[in-house]
Amino acid sequence: MTPDDIDQDKLAAEWASALEDQEDEKPASQSDIDALFDQPAGAAPAGDSGGGKDDALASEWASALADEEEQSIKSERNQEALSRQSAAPQFKNLTQEAKAPRPEGVRRDLDFILDIPLDVSAELGRTKLLINELLQLGQGSVIELNKLAGEPLEIYVNGKLVARGEAVVINEKFGVRLTDIISPIERVKQLA
């Protein structure tokens, strides 16, 4: 026999003795458990005349359950009292303050946004080309755009249309003279 076999035999013997000990103990029936909780605190359970360890355990359980129930009732009453004490929130009416004219010296300070860079572009027109057509373009090729001659250029700021205008030449450089600024209502319509 190897040492592993001896250890397994010893383990099997311990398990067998533990199972025998469990079979000797009588399991409590549901009626015994119900009788234990139906008794007033400190009273001996039915059928138990010894007054031993089971009585002490039962009384401890009964007092613990009674304390827990009492704490639960107290917390519910405290919650009810607190809910009765709370009132509807009162909000100050700021409508009159918002409508009131501002003093002369007070002006909105927007200086902090003046240094934000914006991408401004002027669009003469658009078209769609196939890759084959794009590769055939060379110097002197003409690309037809979707705008008619004389139609205004469109000015975009960060990709959003904000104005229309006409092309001008100033000091040998191209420029755009604004002829129409897009209203806020039209800008909102473009978002939809």
Q: What is the pLDDT of residue 154?
A: 93
Q: What is the pLDDT of residue 176?
A: 92
What is the distance between the alpha carbons of residues 187 and 162, in angstroms, rounded to a whole number? 8
Q: What is the DSSP secondary structure assignment for residue 113, as one 8-state letter?
A: G
Residue (of 29, 30, 35, 59) closest to 47 by Cα position: 35
What is the distance between the alpha carbons of residues 152 and 166, in angstroms, rounded to a whole number? 5
Phi, psi of 120 (to 5 degrees): -110, 130
Q: What is the pLDDT of residue 23?
A: 59
Q: What is the pLDDT of residue 129?
A: 92
Q: What is the pLDDT of residue 189?
A: 82
Q: What is the pLDDT of residue 28?
A: 55
Below-50 pLDDT ranges, the chain: 41-42, 44-49
Q: What is the pLDDT of residue 83?
A: 77
pTM of the model: 0.41
Q: What is the pLDDT of residue 133?
A: 92
Q: What is the pLDDT of residue 5?
A: 61
